[in-house]
Amino acid sequence: MDLARYAELFRTESREHLAEIETALLALERDGDPAHIAVLFRSTHTIKGMAASMGYRAVEHLSHGLETLLDALRSGARTVDADVIALLFDGTDALAQSVNDAVEGRGHVPSSPGHNGCDSPQLAAGSDRCAARNRVTAQWAADRCNARRNASRSASRNATRPHAGAGIASTGFGQPRTQRLDGRGPGRHGRTTD
Amino acid sequence: MGSRTVLICDDAIFMRTMVGDILQAAGFEIIGEAETGVQAVERYLQLRPDLVTMDIVMPDMGGIDAVREITKQDPAARILMCSAMGQQALVVEAIQAGAKDFVVKPFQPSRVLEAVNRVLAAA
């Protein structure tokens, strides 16, 4: 199977889901409604599945780590607090960068020990070590950004959210949902989906 | 005999495209797509495809509940679950709900076609 022809579709749809994640995270931070966790889980899960299909291991592992944390929140094994919210924002930023890196050929950075090991039960249990690892992952991704972009994103995030850090909105996520790969409308195979 | 008809249910355009390409290349006719469980049920009743591929995690109504609704209306429905690794418990639940078989992502064309043919042969 020629995966290259799916790469741009992967990036576009991943960006849409990252925008949904950002919106749901802001809402979760604002009102704490557990309904937002289902949205976060679904979008993260979808990115993971697409990344696995493309062989983008770094994206797959990072989204799996986030998914595991979200599953812990969903089941009540871990509660939503400021630290978790910050962790989710950091992980989402890292995921956004990882998606771009993967599509542009910089993404086969690995499942190395320092990259992301937070797909383990410890994260679900709230392990500080795993949380720290995720922050290392976020830092790893942040280091890959150029200085101009970092400054721009920081300014954007600081303007909208007190936790600061890099913001997804300024990276171009949140564009209108792409309908089909070939641009022929919603039903690539002849029928519409609505 | 005409080509077998398929309804593809997945909330990701990426996944619907990939599955559709695999099946079309093998001679199947994709007669519809759905991106939520609710749409899946509606489309099934409207199109009556020979086969349904069903994702588990979808908005509005998940794939397992969609399987329940479809098989309630048509116990002979042939539904192939598309699961991610680590969803074994959900796959078992889907089979109990009426799905005929499953295939695990990431998709390998040969595995998808084997599973599809198993489901159709068992009918």
What value of ipTM does the predicted structure carry? 0.86
Q: Which of B18, B30, B39 sits opposite A6 (nearest CB)?
A: B18
Higher pLDDT, A151 or A102: A102
Distance from first CA to last CA of chain B, Å, rounded?
A: 16
| pLDDT class of B1 with cuts at 50, 70, 90 | low
CA dist list (Å): A166 to A9, A75, A88, A101, A175: 24, 29, 12, 16, 18
> For position A86, what pLDDT does the model report?
96
User: Residues B27-77: pLDDT tens digits?
Assistant: 999 999 999 999 999 999 999 999 999 999 998 899 999 999 999 999 999
- Search chain B and give the residue with CA nearest A185: B13
- Return the minimum-mean-pLDDT range out of A75-89, A124-138, B71-85, B90-104: A124-138
Q: Which residue in the block uniquely carries the two structure tokens 């720290």?
A: A132
Question: Taking a contact as any Cβ pair under 8 Å apart, which residues of chain A between 148 and 187 contact chain B?
Answer: 178-181, 187
- Distance (Å, rounded) from C-alpha A96 to C-alpha A69? 17
CA dist list (Å): A22 to A84, A163, A172: 14, 13, 12
The residue-averaged pLDDT of B67-94 equals 92
User: Residues B94-113: pLDDT tens digits?
Assistant: 999 999 999 998 899 999 99
Which residues, in sequence order, are CB contacts of A171 under 8 Å at separation 6+? A96, A100, A149, A153
What sign for the dihedral angle of Cα A173, A174, A175, A181?
positive
> For position A157, what pLDDT does the model report?
53
Q: Using alpha carbons, select from B94, B88, B92, B4 the residue that is nearest to residue B54.
A: B94
For residue A51, pLDDT over 60 is answered with yes
Q: What is the pTM of this model?
A: 0.72
B91 CA: distance to closest CA in chain A (Å): 16
- Return the minimum-mean-pLDDT range out of A53-57, A176-180, B94-98: A176-180
For residue A78, pLDDT over 90 is answered with yes
For residue A43, pLDDT over 90 is answered with yes
Q: Which residue in the block uniquely carries the two structure tokens 């309804």?
A: B7
Whether the CB of B39 is below 8 Å from some CB of chain A: the reply is yes
| pLDDT class of A105 with cuts at 50, 70, 90 | confident
> For position A3, what pLDDT does the model report?
87
Burial class from Cβ neighbours inside 10 Å (0-12, 13-18, 19+) for residue B51 reads: buried
- Distance (Å, rounded) from C-alpha A45 to C-alpha A23? 16
Question: CB neighbours (10 Å) of residue A97?
Answer: 26
Question: CB neighbours (10 Å) of residue B120?
Answer: 17
